[in-house]
């Protein structure tokens, strides 16, 4: 099973709660403003993300989602 972590930067108001709770220190505040004038969070170290969903649960603006994706690099089951 593979997962994709996504932050909707235009929903984010840059409160930093997700950054504080991430156990792997994956997230940081971006230096670029979003359409609402906030500095949104982004995955600075996506390779360290363990898809625990703590950040998704914590975000008051529901800006973060984790979705299942197709397994990459794995072939389908064969007989």
Contact residues toward ligand SF4 (CB under 6 A) are: 5, 7, 12-18, 22, 24, 26-27, 40-41, 49-55, 58-59, 61, 63-64
Least distance from ligand SF4 to the Cβ atom of residue 76, Å? 27
User: Looking at beta carbons only, is 25 or 71 nearer to ligand SF4?
Assistant: 25
CA distances from 78 to 2, 69, 70, 71, 74 (A): 19, 20, 17, 15, 11
Q: Which one, 24 or 79, has the nearer CB to ligand SF4?
A: 24
Q: How far is CA 10 from CA 52, 54, 63, 77, 79, in A?
A: 23, 20, 8, 40, 46
| Residue 1 vs 76, nearer CB to ligand SF4 | 1
């Amino acid at each position: 099973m593979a997962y994709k972590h996504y932050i909707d930067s235009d929903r984010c108001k840059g409160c930093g709660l997700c950054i504080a709770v991430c156990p792997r220190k994956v997230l940081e505040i971006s230096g670029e403003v979003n359409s609402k004038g906030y500095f949104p969070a982004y995955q600075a170290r996506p390779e360290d993300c363990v898809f625990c969903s703590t950040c998704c649960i914590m975000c008051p603006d529901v800006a973060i989602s984790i979705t299942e994706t197709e397994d990459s690099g794995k072939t389908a089951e064969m007989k």
